[in-house]
Structure 1
Amino acid sequence: MTAEGKEVLDQLSPTQEHFLKKYLLENRLTIELHELSKPGCCQLLGPPFKIQSDKEGNNNDEDKHQSLPLLSFFFKQFVTEFPFITNNSPKDQLNFWQNTVQPFIEKFNQGNISSSDERRNNITKRKQVNKKFLSGLLLFFNSTLITDKDLIYQNQSHLKASDTGKIDKLQKSSNEVAISMAGLHEYELFQYKNDISINIVSVRDVSATSVPAYTSWNPLRYLRTSDTQVQTHNFDFILQITTRMNSLDGDVIKYKSHFIPRHYHEFKLLSQSLKKAYPGLMASKSFDLPVKSKSDQGINSQEYEPSISSKVSENSGQSNSLYREKLRLALRGYLRSLISRPEIVHSKEFLKFINDENLIFQSLTVDDLVDYNKRLESEKKAFVTQLEFQHQASKVMLQLSSDFDEFKSNLIMKPDTILKIFEDIEKSSSIKSQSKVIRTFNEWCKLEVAATIYQMFLSQDNSGEWLNKCRRFHRLFPYNVVYGILRFTNPVKIVGKVIDLLLMNIPTISFSGSEKGETRNLLSIIFTLLLDEDLTDFEKELTALREDKLDTDYDVFLERIEAYCQLDTNIVDDIREESMIKSQDFLLTILSTELILPRIQTSLDQFKFNKIKESYEAYSHLNEDKDVTKSELYLNLKQYWQVQIRKKDTNLLKQLWKEPELTRLLKDSISIFYQPLIRVFAKADMHVVFRSFQIFMDDLMKDLYLLSNKEIYYLNPFQIFERIKGLLDKHEEVLWEFLHNVYVHDEQHLFKGIVKWTEKFLLFLRLKFVNEEAVKLIISLNGVSLNEELFIKQLNAQTNRVVEKRRLFKEYFENKSLIGKGISAQDKIDEGWEDVNGKLFGDTSAGDFGVNQEDFEEFNNMHAEADLDADGTLDNDLKKKLLKLEEDVNEIGTSELDKLDGTIKTQLSILLKDINL
């Protein structure tokens, strides 16, 4: 290393040095994780995997181990040391890794399963690995490994005074949650996706009425008879459609709103037309149309709603209220999932559904308004009930925080504190005999579970469907058969026999004269049949796209898409690299690259490709010009590509189920992970607990059914809270007795091992406070020649990227939390839970456990971004800012920073080799 190079590193500020370390670790993890997707990756992790000899016959374990220093360390210290694995003999462990796991991974990587990112978006090298997995490992290593000036950075506050004030304001507002439902004309408070908001504000009973003919006949709604139209359905769902528009100067937001009636059959027709128009896109489960429920008949208003029934209009004559309420909420959830996709929002099928001029009206009738107000009050009560759960949880949390003071201090300084809590469980089978901390923690857990039950089964738009599915499963589950097996037989042997049956090889019959029958296991046959059903559906979607959406003029591009799905991994990586270098959409790169045959050679083919590019530009600006017809060509090709990817993955999975490596992995994994648990549970009177669980499920399903269909409409929030919480109180002793019995009969100390394994993470995170030199990473050049000016420029760009990204997310979440910014009542509830649960450790911060608070927030932001991007709900404005940020940084590049990867890799190999926890 030159004196000038050393001087550059020495002059870095603590912030620059911290972010240099962060970038180098992230870059190294990205490279290493990418290596794990290639054949032969297992030997790069080192022992206990087999190491193949090189061409000269050398078998250097150390060289292999050093090629992936970060992942090798994590694998050796935490994966191979998991208690269920180490509970086996060294010989069995070695056999599991070398003869079971390694062959399966090698086979799997040869298949080249596509990533979820590839199915949706453009790919860059940074996105080739799973974001969440990368972010978790990065947080772990960035928190444990330090540089000379790293502790100085971690002890500094990096928030401006203005930012701190905003955070305080956010925390204060979440403590004072007040539910205010947006009114019919409070458009600025509505929730918008792709500049449109949809609500189903009322349900109109039309079963006993006839309506004057509209200006034109609509066969989808009525049967025509002379001057009137006789209803062919019983209920109309009144939709409120609100569009958000910018004025010409761009500063003022305008809103346009109208109402339109739609009955359930029209929702079915919409679903069918969208599936025909967008077969690839609509294959997602999130776009499934809700089904009707027989129990969705509403309630007798005079018996259950005296306060509300008095408000009913004298002219309405309604004896029932809130009929079809569960279906209303489910259909609203369905529509809101549809508008998350711009191509659907601007499609002619969807626009016709929400904008039929023959049906639109501007104001509700008196009866509609009465019905709307009742349903609004019902929704508001659902949120108030969640607030009641929060209020009760907050009171317990205050007590828990007080009881936790000593525990938190011990947990920070003495990681074995967790083990001592489990030892208390060993002493008594009753929660009443546990320590005060455990009793309070038990109360908090029950409140969390009760709130989750309420939110999942009673308060969400799709709660009715979830409850119906669970009740159906509960009715069909053979509790008595399982109870008899657990009581009168050896469950270990029974499970073993079932596993042997499922994995037993049986000959299959071939009906083709050219093919021989093969030997496969029953489980493989079952899953193969299920995958064949998916493949049949994919073929239907591809046929629909080819014949109805894409004419033969574009066959050459369809062939290129099909050819891409058969490419080797290395060529796919080259195409991804080309896409990144050109800053081009990945699908456009697939359609134009020279690496795929048939190539675009004729002027006619080039003309067609230019048309695709124009369609892509229209697709990219769909929300601006709102003309979906211009983008249909690109969208249809993209759907064809995505379905082909799913088809390829399904074929690979089908092939994988036929391979003996998967069968061996399943059998050995069950032997290692499942059977030890069964042995322990068998000694803990599992049949008694199972019967108690059945009784609990009986009570839970019964209470939820009554609450969902009747009682939720007239019980006050505190009564609903008491109903669900009381159910958990009633059954808690059974759970604690089971936990006690399991722990007592855990002769192999599996659970104690899991606790110690968890404590190992805490030890490693805090090692820098005990022994700095053990985890100090020396960043040096070691003869690497740098362009010092460009090096500093690139480092500052990476630093600014991280800081600016943190600011964007902080601003985004802060704006969501402010009243008047379109935040939903559910968002306020969720923020309230975050605030309540955040009090668990009081003033204790992530830094007390060795994790930098800002890095932890960045970890949460990355998870939030991945989740929002996956379900299509990432705010468009935020998405544009994030993309612009990445583009600006990519222009500056990382060439000088990447020169340090070789030296940092060597340093990591030396440093991590000597750490043994």
Structure 2
Amino acid sequence: MKNTSNDFLDGLTPAQEHFLKKYLLEYRLSDELHTFSRADVCELVGFPFKTTLKKSGFDVLPLSTFYMRNFVAQFPFIASNSDNVQRAFWQETVQPFVESFNSKNISSSEERQTNATKRRQVNKKFLSGMLLFYNSVIITNKELTYLNESHLKPSDTGKMDKFSANLNDDALCVDDIDKHDMKKFHHNLSINIVALRRTGAAVAGTPSNSISSWSPMRFVTSSRPSAPRHHYEFVIQVTTRESVDGNFQYKSHFIARHYHEFKTLESKLKRHLPGVMSTEVSELPRKFSNDNGYNDIAHEKDTESELASLSSTVNGSSKTTKLVREKLRLSLRGYLRTLSKYPEIVHSDIFLDFIDHGSFNYRQLSEVELEDHKNRIEHERTMLKTQVEFQKQTAKVIVNLTKDFESLKKDIIMNPSTLSGIFDQIGKSSDIKKQTPFLKTLNEWCKLEAAATLYQVFLSQDNSNDWLNRCRKFHRLFPYNLVYGILRFTNPLKIVSRIVDLLLVNIPTVSIPSWGSKDEEELKEIAKKSGSRNLLSMIFVMLLDESLSSYETELKLLREEKLDSEYEIFLERIERYTDVDYAVVDAIKRESYEKSQDLLLTVLSTDLIKPPLRTIEDKYKYSQIVKSQMSYDQLAEHKNVVDSALYLNLKQYWQVQIRKKDADLFKQLWKEPELTKLIKNFLMVFYQPMMRIFTKADIHVVFRDFQKFMDDLMKELSIINNQEIYYLNSFEVFDRLKSLFDKHEDVLWKFIHTLYVKDDEHLFKGLVLWIEKFLVALRIKFFDEETVKLNLSSANLGIDEELFLKQLNSRAERTILRRKLFKEFLEVQASTGDETAQDKIDSKWEEVNNQLYGEFNTKGLGIDLEDVEEFNHLNAEEDLGDHSNERVLKQKLFDLEKNLVDYGTSELDKLDDSVKSQLSTLLTNLKI
């Protein structure tokens, strides 16, 4: 029955009205964000961009226009510039770049299928964040009633149990690394490197040409001793599991591999799976120069040769070296675990041969190797305990901080300017010891968080050594003295401006005295060949050319060795797909969605791409691809490697073609003047205001202090990583890193105080006020609700009342059921303990830090707690992997969407025009 008056909308419950408003705002935001891919989007937004449209931006894109004008354009680092500079930045720099960029067909994540740059996920998260903001700012007639209702208990939101300051060591650490590893699986496979096996001359009393009974022949037998190719092998524990009658059964075996075999594995995988290895997996870790472990007699660094250090007897005296190649062991373990995340790799013959061929039983490890295994377990346990120590100390500080924070939260809710008051306290003293109790406790918390982060990143993870080596190298090569001289004796503003000019000036006009005429001519010749306009674009174009060359090699390999010539028509269709325009790409994606079909299969079969599949043979080949794709989908559970190979190779060819297309487009982008202009003006607009203040604050003095801090930091991390990590207990490691921040905190606070005093442009105060604008926007409905209220029943739209309620209730039901699924997922995850000790520590960090906010009353800011949880669920959903519980949740979410009766949204959508018109009026008049 159609209702022409829409009076029935007044009879909606507060919850129904809330879900209706949320849907309508989501519909508006989705439509606006979709418009952002248009080349003329800046004209649609209007001010601060130039436009020839007679309509206001609020009429076309009300939500985006409001956010742009009140928050983006008013960001202090931009707004502190003159009106002319701001106008030129938006209209003459940003707008031409957006028009140029949106005119290019950059691929989306559906095509790239990678974890690197997920455009769709970014848009989805951005949409969810904007929806959370506007859903909290804009209200309906019964919105405040809904906010004050206890429609869901806090326990129903899926949050973890309440924080306890008394952390349990047993809950965070494991008694046996083997058991802990059996809880972390990728595709029912768990890998750990548990020990090192010494071989050849490294074993005391063993001839260098002897052959161990457990390993294949690797040395040439000779009448005279010969140097072995390697002195140690990594003992890898491989654990598989299989579900039988709802319970997992585990099997475990061991395999010994030396480093060269890891290199061979990488080389073979790159040839067998070029697309996966080049786009998903990082390079094999290199050997570390200082990785000889430690001696159990003395703490001094062993200065003897590596071969001697591996021996159990040196100069006739007993000296056992422990944890040899520990850094490389952890790095290689991380590499193997990364490989195990990809079903294409896990079920390939190359990888299976590596982790299975020549396997042996744990009992075949010698007493020395078993002792090595025990030592490495103990070392990992110590690193875990150190993280727990950081958490304990942080928890103690948070208990004190929370007491002060509780009153602060109430003040912030009632008076957003409270933040400005806290900021003003910084100007009263440069000594942190003379600050308010709240700031002193906050300072302690920040130091602990920073120290814990440094430990986790540079000392405790499998790839920590690689990160530490990179930072040490950068620190060693960075020209601190040169930069200090520039900051002290010159005008930094002009120096950076000249450097930017040098990098971005057109190459044909470049003339540098230190360059000879030959170098200058060579530079111009390179620029001419690459089409680069300046030095910066030349650098990036050359890098992109290297990538393009690599992609061409991979495509040739796939075409010539992996795909038969009889599939040429499908390869041609893939190549054609990369050249079609946006309209065709969108149509193909819609077709894929409507058919519930894999996007690549749609690309290979759609009538929108030529050449068409007309012959019986073409259609037969396509059916083979479909069967292969079905096998590929089951690859995570089954080992249909041969059946899935065809689809896998086509998919890799598609992925590399997409990346090649993107590289070509970005190469073209770097050749165009819009990007150059954007970079230059962006640096100037953001850099100039900040640099003016830093110059007044004697930044050269602070920079020298920063150098001293970095010297101390790199020195301390290196000492701990190279030797002390083997001797220090958990509290000692914690204390040394914490003391480092204690030593340098006065310098930091003095600089912060000086910045406050010298900031006569109030740049940083403006940043605090900018943050307060968000709080003000959230609070408007409590003191002037009519300015942010939507009247959902104001239009005469002839809505079918019965169908409308079905559509509305269906969407509300879907949302509530999704929340319930996530709640169950978190409960199961917490109860089963199906996670590693490191996973538990990471989740405990979140719990520790969440305690800082306590029972934050989001309703005091007008934010519905369930909406916040829903936003968190979205982030969690995007990060779901192939863990058993995560796969179950993904399947349940899929089944939920599939099984719920879909009534569509036709009647709900009839309110869109009215909502858009009201939003235009409402946001135009809304002043923050």
Picking from 827, 839, 861, the partner of 2:873 is 861
User: What does residue 878 of structure 1 align with?
Assistant: 889
User: What does residue 512 of structure 2 align with?
Assistant: none
User: What does residue 839 of structure 1 align with?
Assistant: 851
Cα shift at 1:23: 1.9
Aligned partners of 1:499, 1:907: CA distance in 2, in Å? 46
User: What does residue 574 of structure 2 align with?
Assistant: 561
Cα shift at 1:148: 2.1
Whether 1:680 and 2:693 are equivalent positions in the alignment is yes
Cα shift at 1:22: 1.7
Paired residue secondary structure (1:186): helix
Whether 1:76 and 2:56 are equivalent positions in the alignment is no
User: What does residue 911 of structure 2 align with?
Assistant: 900
User: What does residue 295 of structure 1 align with?
Assistant: 290
Aligned partners of 1:4, 1:174: CA distance in 2, in Å? 62
Pairs within 5 Å for 1:326-365: 326-357=327-358, 364-365=365-366
Whether 1:31 and 2:31 are equivalent positions in the alignment is yes
Q: Would the alpha carbon gap of residues 11 and 517 (structure 1) be closer, same or farther in structure 2, given more than 3 Å must change?
A: closer
Picking from 754, 759, 762, the partner of 2:775 is 762
Q: Percent identity?
A: 51
- Which moves more between the two structures, 693-702 or 177-186? 177-186
Whether 1:812 and 2:825 are equivalent positions in the alignment is yes
User: What does residue 55 of structure 1 align with?
Assistant: none
Cα shift at 1:893: 3.5
> Does structure 1 conserve the Cα–Cα contact (< 8 Å) formed by 2:255 and 2:359?
no
Aligned partners of 1:723, 1:128: CA distance in 2, in Å? 40
Aligned partners of 1:375, 1:810: CA distance in 2, in Å? 37
User: What does residue 599 of structure 1 align with?
Assistant: 612
Cα shift at 1:817: 2.6
User: What does residue 266 of structure 1 align with?
Assistant: 261
User: What does residue 195 of structure 2 align with?
Assistant: 202
Aligned partners of 2:877, 2:165: CA distance in 1, in Å? 24
> Does structure 1 conserve the Cα–Cα contact (< 8 Å) formed by 2:412 and 2:418?
yes
- Which moves more between the two structures, 897-906 or 884-893? 884-893
> Does structure 2 conserve the Cα–Cα contact (< 8 Å) formed by 1:34 and 1:128?
no
Whether 1:909 and 2:909 are equivalent positions in the alignment is no
Structure-2-length-normalised TM-score: 0.91
Paired residue secondary structure (1:111): coil
> Does structure 2 conserve the Cα–Cα contact (< 8 Å) formed by 1:223 and 1:232?
no
Aligned partners of 1:393, 1:286: CA distance in 2, in Å? 35
Letter in 1 for 2:601: L
User: What does residue 156 of structure 1 align with?
Assistant: 149
Paired residue secondary structure (2:24): helix
Picking from 612, 622, 625, the partner of 1:612 is 625
Picking from 556, 565, 580, the partner of 1:552 is 565
Aligned partners of 2:226, 2:165: CA distance in 1, in Å? 53
- Which moves more between the two structures, 640-649 or 501-510? 501-510
Paired residue secondary structure (2:254): strand
Cα shift at 1:17: 2.1
Paired residue secondary structure (2:533): strand
Q: Deviations over 1:468-497 (max 9, x none)?
A: 110011111111111111111111111111
Q: Would the alpha carbon gap of residues 157 and 330 (structure 1) be closer, same or farther in structure 2, given more than 3 Å must change?
A: farther
Q: Would the alpha carbon gap of residues 454 and 661 (structure 1) be closer, same or farther in structure 2, given more than 3 Å must change?
A: same
Paired residue secondary structure (1:254): strand
User: What does residue 411 of structure 2 align with?
Assistant: 410
Paired residue secondary structure (1:257): strand
Aligned partners of 1:137, 1:523: CA distance in 2, in Å? 35
Cα shift at 1:801: 2.4
Letter in 2 for 1:100: T
Paired residue secondary structure (1:130): helix
Aligned partners of 1:874, 1:703: CA distance in 2, in Å? 40
Aligned partners of 2:541, 2:119: CA distance in 1, in Å? 34
Picking from 176, 179, 182, the partner of 2:172 is 179
- Which moves more between the two structures, 743-752 or 325-334? 743-752
Letter in 1 for 2:751: F
Paired residue secondary structure (2:416): coil
User: What does residue 235 of structure 2 align with?
Assistant: 238
Cα shift at 1:891: 4.8
- Structural RMSD (CA): 3.1
User: What does residue 56 of structure 1 align with?
Assistant: none
Pairs within 5 Å for 1:64-463: 64-120=57-113, 127=120, 130-159=123-152, 163=156, 167=159, 169=161, 171=163, 175-176=167-168, 178-181=171-174, 183=176, 186=179, 189-206=182-199, 207-208=202-203, 209=206, 218=216, 221-223=218-220, 231-247=228-244, 250-284=245-279, 286-304=281-299, 319-357=320-358, 364-463=365-464
> Does structure 2 conserve the Cα–Cα contact (< 8 Å) formed by 1:212 and 1:228?
no
Letter in 1 for 2:908: L
Aligned partners of 2:111, 2:776: CA distance in 1, in Å? 38
Aligned partners of 1:285, 1:597: CA distance in 2, in Å? 30
Q: Would the alpha carbon gap of residues 825 and 916 (structure 1) be closer, same or farther in structure 2, given more than 3 Å must change?
A: same
Letter in 1 for 2:850: G
- Which moves more between the two structures, 144-153 or 233-242? 144-153
Letter in 2 for 1:203: L
Cα shift at 1:868: 4.1
Q: Deviations over 1:337-356 (max 9, x none)?
A: 11111111111111111111
Paired residue secondary structure (2:507): strand
Paired residue secondary structure (1:61): coil
Q: Would the alpha carbon gap of residues 895 and 383 (structure 1) be closer, same or farther in structure 2, given more than 3 Å must change?
A: same
Whether 1:60 and 2:54 are equivalent positions in the alignment is yes
Letter in 2 for 1:60: K
Paired residue secondary structure (1:367): helix
Aligned partners of 1:410, 1:40: CA distance in 2, in Å? 44
Aligned partners of 1:623, 1:173: CA distance in 2, in Å? 40
Q: Would the alpha carbon gap of residues 599 and 170 (structure 1) be closer, same or farther in structure 2, given more than 3 Å must change?
A: farther
Q: Would the alpha carbon gap of residues 139 and 910 (structure 1) be closer, same or farther in structure 2, given more than 3 Å must change?
A: same
Aligned partners of 1:159, 1:182: CA distance in 2, in Å? 40
Paired residue secondary structure (2:441): helix
User: What does residue 848 of structure 1 align with?
Assistant: 860
User: What does residue 809 of structure 2 align with?
Assistant: 796
Q: Deviations over 1:575-628 (max 9, x none)?
A: 111111111111111111111111111111111111110011001111333111
Q: Deviations over 1:695-738 (max 9, x none)?
A: 11111111101101111111111111110010001011111111
Q: Would the alpha carbon gap of residues 497 and 741 (structure 1) be closer, same or farther in structure 2, given more than 3 Å must change?
A: same
Q: Would the alpha carbon gap of residues 31 and 509 (structure 1) be closer, same or farther in structure 2, given more than 3 Å must change?
A: farther
User: What does residue 504 of structure 2 align with?
Assistant: 503
> Does structure 2 conserve the Cα–Cα contact (< 8 Å) formed by 1:174 and 1:831?
no
Q: Deviations over 1:244-269 (max 9, x none)?
A: 1011xx32221111111111111111
Letter in 2 for 1:149: K
Q: Would the alpha carbon gap of residues 196 and 704 (structure 1) be closer, same or farther in structure 2, given more than 3 Å must change?
A: same
Paired residue secondary structure (1:203): strand
> Does structure 2 conserve the Cα–Cα contact (< 8 Å) formed by 1:683 and 1:745?
yes
Pairs within 5 Å for 1:456-495: 456-495=457-496
Aligned partners of 1:50, 1:184: CA distance in 2, in Å? 63
Aligned partners of 1:116, 1:92: CA distance in 2, in Å? 36
> Does structure 2 conserve the Cα–Cα contact (< 8 Å) formed by 1:287 and 1:338?
no
Cα shift at 1:321: 0.5
Paired residue secondary structure (1:236): strand
Aligned partners of 2:906, 2:119: CA distance in 1, in Å? 15
Q: Which runs of 5+ in 1 are unaligned?
A: 53-58, 306-311
Q: Which runs of 5+ in 2 are unaligned?
A: 301-310, 509-520
User: What does residue 520 of structure 1 align with?
Assistant: 533
Cα shift at 1:376: 1.1
Q: Deviations over 1:544-578 (max 9, x none)?
A: 11111111111111111111111111111111111
Paired residue secondary structure (1:104): helix
